[in-house]
Amino acid sequence: MEKLPNTGNSNQATLANDNLFHKKKSGQNMMAHTSTASMLHFLMIVLATALTAASPVTAQQNGTAVPAAYRIQIGCVLSPLHPEACDAYENFLNAVIPGLFAFHRMSELELLDQVDTLEYALVDTKTMSCLDVEQGFAPLNGFGLPVVTAAGDSGDEVKFVDTVGGVMFTTRDSRIVSLSDLKDQVIAGTTITDFASTHANFAKYRSKIGTDLIDDAAEVQFMGTHDRVLDAVLSGDAAAGMVQTGFLEQAAHDGLLNWEDIDILAQEIAITEDGTRFPYFSSTPIYPGWTVVATSFSSLQARTDVLNFVLAVPSTTIAFTSPESFAGVGDILENFGVIERDLVRTTETRCVRKMSHIVVQEEEDHEEETPAVEVDGDGHEGEEEEHEQPSYEPGTVVLAAAGGEQGHDDHEDELSASQIICPNTHFIYNHAVLATRCAGRSCPEQTRCLCRPCQKSAPILAHATPFQLTDELVEQDDPAVHDILLTSCDRMRVCAFGQQAQTLHFVLEDQLYSERGNKDTLFYFVSLFWADAEGFASMEAVPLAHAPNLATVNVTETHYGTAVVEVYLADRNTEFSEWQPIDGSPFLLQVSPRDCPDGMEATQDNTCECPVGTLHLSGKCMQAKEYLPIFIGSALAVIGIGVYIAIAVVRRNADKLWQIDAADVVVSDPPEVLGMGAFGVVIKGELNGTGIAIKRVMPRSSKKTTDTNGRSTRTRGRIASSKRSAKSASTVDSSNVDVYSMNATSTIQASKTTNGFGMEFGNVDNEAAIERALEWQDAEANKATTARTGHGKEISNAKSEFMAEIRLLSRLRHPCVATMLGAIVTKSSEVLLVMEYLEHGSLYDFLRNDKLPTPDMFLLPIVKDIVSGMRYIHNLKPAVVHGDLKAKNVLVDGNFKAKISDFGLSQKQRFGCGTPMWMAPEVLRGGEVTREADVYSFAITVYEIYSRQDPFPDEDASEVLRQIAARQVPAKRPDIPDSCPVMLAELARRCWSEEPKFRPTFDQVDAQLGELNISKVGASLIQQKQDALNKATVLNDVFPEHIAKIHCRC
């Protein structure tokens, strides 16, 4: 077979001329004179003879010797894991036609770089994928080796396996049970480029865990051979190992392994293409294994002839199978950095020229020695290096140098990027960082140890540094350089802090610098924009002479505040629009103002000046207060007066909505007393034909008066009447009037134009009549409540607060809240609250009304109304606290709807108003009245409703209050009557819990009451009231009053 002439570039020609397998013999001259057709015909005769012969035929029989220069050139990857594959292939070929094939064992990198000197090659999975992406070669046929059988299995049929996968295993007594347990462990592997044992396992780990094993493992030790990996795991030096499928079965067959000692991690059940189960344990899917590939030197006809030839020859040592696709293999190798894409021509790919181990071969005698070529990490030729290589036996697996040559075992101190392969989303750390990654760790002999050497980052990183980075610091591997390169700037995050006029230093690190084709014209364009000032600056980064992948940029600006820094990867041969920002751009700088003398402040121009509003006089900044006190004081006074007037006008207009003119109110004479409020009686009145209730909402300030003898006395603010009606037999003292015996016998009719009191009350207006009506029962009011009379100043403050509160309360509208219609503000600044009139008065009186008895079944809706009203005022913004919830402060309207009243006024809290027996323990101890205290009062009110009596009626009040205030166990509480529903009783007990935080809110109480079937009480009680009134009328007509009352109760 005639070899096609080499039409490659000069580098390929050089490699071909220097190839160990191209001998410059006289037979080479025949190639120029022998046609391709005659040579193919000659080889076909040999092949036909071989296929028909009963015994092996040599190429020299019948005088048809094949010249050495025209032998078929076949290469084979001498794998550190399966060196026997080359032996089996060569033995097969020589057994059929000895002398026809020139067989060459090569490392994977030698075969990739010298494939143009070969016609066929037997390659492993990784090398086949590289030939596919670099040369476009397709596999000719698969190559299978015999299946490892169990010890003692003597089956006659020999089976072959042409696929391969990865296995991850550990010892059974280890604590590793799943892939996630491999984090921070030492992992033993074979070589950095082997597909099945390394990258297939890496892909399985990423698919299951979501991260990369090279990042998670504390250390990955690439040991070169399967046997070393097994020894490391069994000895405990490594927590887990990664090998190819079939090795563990072979080790068990050879007695090196007991299956009971190991566990397979992430085991998969693999199925081959013919539907049979894969014969070996596997942690990954299975992929194509060893493959025979034809190069560009072989014609299509020649490939067909060779394929027919190998398929026709039977063998018990190897098997040739149909080829499989390597697309999936290529994707994995690209994901994990073995296959790289060109930065400019992204459709072009190549395999990295890196490997960790080689197999030592026997030295061959050559007529013309080829000089040793050291290949750097990028696959380019380097300088010839002469150094003494250690002596190893042929077949020994040793560490490879950067270009695939036999190397030294000194990687622990000199680990470089040329010996590391990272996933395509990662980059290798700078050598200053890389040198320290395995610090403090030991590494076995002939092992390449990697300690998290890769970082998942953008191609170009920006680092902040406190000093100027120089070539000397980088070359000396200064520890400070290591610290700088470990941290980088993030997009739109503050990267550095500084002070105005201080120089900030940055380092730009290009991790793809060695792969860029435009190094001569490439540079970094840096721009700064100040967000707090009108400023823009731009500059170029300066690359280091001996580390051009690093460039420095120094920022010294006069501005302070936040600076936005944008970094562009630029080319001098392109326009600005084509420049690309780096991934971390833009990032931020935070610059503080410069230091200035006392009283002065920094400016954006990097100077110090007096603040705005001051003058620089006598060498210092004079404050405005030093020369403009009168102006500022006058201005403030005018502004203050204007604001006060404006507020007063707005407030007065707003107060007209709730202020009621006393002239529009009608009260009876004597006044009809509805009940007792916190600061006096509550009387009935009429406003424009509507019934109302009038009450005082704060104590009256004491006023000095002078009696007829000229002596100074104190009154409770009563408006004394100097005249009495001529019809009265004697002067009536208002403090002794029994309000509960008064009858509405007459009406005080007032107007703005006439004196409604006539001769009976003298010449006073309607406002005075209302105040006098309220004064008549002040003595009783003082006895009925715990209110204290405040001092004049305190009462004045209370009035101011009340005016603010009443604006809020006048807007409240709720079916279960007594409506406040407004207030009367008298000429003496007395504030009288006007509420809606509720027909049945207080719940306290309603429950004790003998003429209208209320069955227990109708009490639950009343409780529900109380809860609804309290829930409403507690949920207001701001919340309103009742402060004195009890039956007397719950009113009942004509439809028997319960409404809460007498709430929300801070005056009750200011003057200590409240009923002690209903007060929460914390309030009795002097605490603040809160919403939780209202919940407690509600629980006591529930007791009051169902018992129809005050709490602890037969006990000494002071002793009871002392026990309630004390934190005793059990707490002092009244006994809820059995007539109360069980659910409500339990709810009440929760409401009067000793600790406020354990009491439910009214929202929660209302939700729990909603679970009960509560019917409306109005219609039933109205009918019941009518029946009771009818019955009382009949009895009163027939019997005396005391007898009628007895019959009515029956």
Q: Rounded to whole angstroms, how far apart are CA atoms 285 and 328?
A: 11
Q: Rounded to whole angstroms, how far apart are CA atoms 538 and 891?
A: 79
Q: Rounded to whole angstroms, how far apart are CA atoms 143 and 344?
A: 37
Q: Rounded to whole angstroms, how far apart are CA atoms 1030 and 102?
A: 132
**SS3 letters across 399-436:** EECCCCCECCCCHHHHCCHHHCCCCCCEEECCHHHHCC
Q: Rounded to whole angstroms, how far apart are CA atoms 844 and 945?
A: 8
> Is the Cβ–Cβ distance between 217 and 168 less than 8 Å?
no
Residue 753: how many CA atoms within 13 Å on its side-chain side?
Answer: 0
**SS3 letters across 917-985:** HHCCHHHHCCCCCCHHHHHHHHHHHHHHHHHCCCCCCCCCHHHHHHHHHCCCCCCCCCCCCCCCCHHHH
The residue type of 497 is: F
Query: 489: exposed, middle or buried (C-beta count within 10 Å: 0-12, 13-18, 19+)?
Result: buried
Q: Is residue 695 marked as binding? A: yes
What six digits make up the tokens of 174?
A: 């280890």
Q: Is the dihedral of CA 657, 662, 665, 671 positive or negative?
A: positive
List the one residue out of 840, 841, 848 whose CA is nearest residue 949.
848
Residues 917/921/925/928 CA torsion (nearest 10 deg):
-100
Apex 955 CA angle, 949 and 959, nearest 5:
125
Q: Rounded to whole angstroms, how far apart are CA atoms 708 and 257?
A: 125
Cβ neighbours of residue 883 under 8 Å, at least 6 residues apart? 903, 904, 905, 908, 909, 913, 914, 929, 933, 934
List the one residue out of 96, 52, 46 whose CA is nearest residue 66.
46
The residue type of 522 is: L
Residues 216/219/225/226 CA torsion (nearest 10 deg):
-50
Cis peptide, bond prior to residue 611, ω within 30 of zero: no
> Is the Cβ–Cβ distance between 493 and 524 less than 8 Å?
no
Q: Rounded to whole angstroms, how far apart are CA atoms 405 and 471?
A: 30
Phi and psi torsions of 746, nearest 5°: -150, 170
**Residue ranges at the known binding site:** 695
Binding residues for ATP: 695
